[in-house]
Chains A and B, each alone.
Chain A
Amino acid sequence: MAPKDGGEASSKLVLYSYWQSSCSWRVRFALNLKGLSYEYKAVNLAKGEQFTPEFEKLNPLHFVPVLVDGDVVVSDSYAILMYLEEKYPQRTLLPADPQQKALNLQVASIISSSIQPLLMLSILKYLEEKVGLEERLLFVQTNIEKGFLALEKLLKDFVGKYATGEEVYMADVFMAPQIAVATERFKIDMSKFPTLSRIYESQRALPEFLAASPERQPDAVH
């Protein structure tokens, strides 16, 4: 379950990742849930390693995470997760029931399209220039809270121990890293979101989630 840093190339799966990237976190979490071991290849975003010719060949968009599975190369965390779900169906991350499945995909989309993109460094830099630091923080918090409020309402009737019931699914894979970032980086007050708070307590207790967390990665800087 734990990633290996370099060493023998015994795993078929290779994950290019950055310790702090929440998108990489999602994939690490899913790989752990599916019991898939992988080789961890660190891409130091702070040092611009995503722009090396070698990495550019893997992903011309210079983003992590990138998954390499033999001949197949997949970028974008959502695409990687859909790929893993199909190729390695053990410990399925999408329920069979169509409404439940759709709910999980919707939660994933709310996070990956309505929340996370508005927290990107380039956006924050622009906002700081144009509207100032205080306003920028307000923007970030407003958007996170808008998304969390939507999730709170959406999941209210479906929630169990985890986001959409008693099992861990795709919604949890996206949610847990996002809540971690929201609370630790952006100081979101989770008491406004009792349902999400409760789910998060269950999610963060999962060994698969903990093993995937930034501080536990080979390239973590302490």
Chain B
Amino acid sequence: MAHEEKKLKLYSYWRSSCSCRIRIALNLKGLEYQYIPVNLLKGEQFSPEFQKLNPIGYVPVLVDGDIVISDSFAIFMYLEEKYPQHPLLPSDLQKKALNFQAANIVCSSIQPLQNLAVLKYIEEKASPDEKIPWAKRHIEKGFEALEKLLKDHAGIYATGDEVFMADLFLAPQVHAGIKRFNVDMAKFPLLSRLNEAYSELPHFQNAMPENQPDSPSAWGTC
């Protein structure tokens, strides 16, 4: 019995915060998709097949019919334009810019400095003990920046009373900071409050790492 193939496919890794951003966006826009896991720890991103989809070997990758898009920022902008329901960018230009800026603090100042490749490097070339302090340092620096940036603009969510792009990029990073790197969130009252707010949103929670098909907890392992 054939099941109807979903038009949208997302190549994702459960713990990838970049993939999480897009999982949230797809949920918010009510878009069904086929989840295709890419096990980064096993090096599946280096398979010739995946390299053809994305030569830099990162997830997420979105496939929409003939269109293949990599990079969470690019995928986000594509979804926003192609599927305008539940808009994730405000129309006001200043506020929109603020969302891009917050998203970029995460994309450029935090996440790349604590991704798998960099942590592996630190572990090998410096020492295994340096790994977590390195990651924590960069995360906390980025979180300090976000606290300052959003202080005068946040409402219920990062840039006001509606969920926008900034929230999609913040939530997975804050989650990772807490769960993987033991960041002391007491130093970051705004981000702590936002994290609480995100924990009440099913579209966010369903996108979190522990709820993905390829999360180890899905098979009952600890």
* A interface residues, Cβ below 8 angstroms from B: 60-61, 71-76, 78-80, 82-83, 86-87, 98-99, 101-103, 105-106, 108-110, 112-114, 116-118, 123, 126, 130-131, 135, 139, 146-147, 149-150, 153-154
- Does B77 reach chain A (CB closer than 8 Å)? yes
* B interface residues, Cβ below 8 angstroms from A: 51, 55-58, 66-75, 77-78, 81-82, 93-94, 96-98, 100-101, 104-105, 107-109, 111-113, 118, 121, 125-126, 130, 134, 145, 148-149
Does B125 contact A78, Cβ atoms closer than 8 Å? no
Does B69 contact A102, Cβ atoms closer than 8 Å? yes
* A153-B149 Cα distance, complex, nearest whole Å: 36
* A154-B56 Cα distance, complex, nearest whole Å: 8
Does B78 contact A60, Cβ atoms closer than 8 Å? no
Does B101 contact A75, Cβ atoms closer than 8 Å? yes
Contact of A113 with B101 at beta-carbon distance under 8 Å, contacts A60-B148, A106-B74, A131-B125 already known: no
Closest chain-B Cβ to A85's Cβ sits at a distance in Å of: 11
* A74-B112 Cα distance, complex, nearest whole Å: 23
Can you sample 16 A-B contacts with CB below 8 Å?
A: A60-B145, A74-B101, A76-B100, A80-B97, A98-B67, A98-B81, A99-B66, A106-B70, A113-B73, A113-B107, A114-B58, A117-B108, A118-B113, A130-B125, A146-B56, A149-B55
Among A74, A98, A101, point to the contact of B97 (Cβ < 8 A): A74
Closest to B51 in A: A153
Among A118, A126, A130, A154, point to the contact of B112 (Cβ < 8 A): A118
Contact of A131 with B81 at beta-carbon distance under 8 Å, contacts A79-B104, A153-B55 already known: no
Among B78, B97, B109, point to the contact of A117 (Cβ < 8 A): B109
Contact of A61 with B149 at beta-carbon distance under 8 Å, contacts A106-B71, A114-B112 already known: yes
Closest chain-B Cβ to A194's Cβ sits at a distance in Å of: 15
Closest to B137 in A: A126
Closest to A60 in B: B148
Q: With a 10 A CB-CB cut-off, give which of B70, B97, B118, B148 has the most chain A CB atoms.
A: B97
Closest to A110 in B: B56
Does A72 contact B93, Cβ atoms closer than 8 Å? yes
Closest to B89 in A: A82
Q: Which residues of A contact B70 (CB under 8 A)?
A: 106
Closest to B94 in A: A72
* A84-B194 Cα distance, complex, nearest whole Å: 29
Contact of A83 with B75 at beta-carbon distance under 8 Å, contacts A61-B148, A99-B67, A154-B56 already known: no
Does A72 contact B113, Cβ atoms closer than 8 Å? no
Closest chain-A Cβ to B112's Cβ sits at a distance in Å of: 5
Q: Which residues of B contact A105 (CB under 8 A)?
A: 71, 73-74, 77
Q: Which residues of A contact B145 (CB under 8 A)?
A: 60-61
Closest to A135 in B: B125
Q: Which residues of B contact A79 (CB under 8 A)?
A: 97-98, 100-101, 104
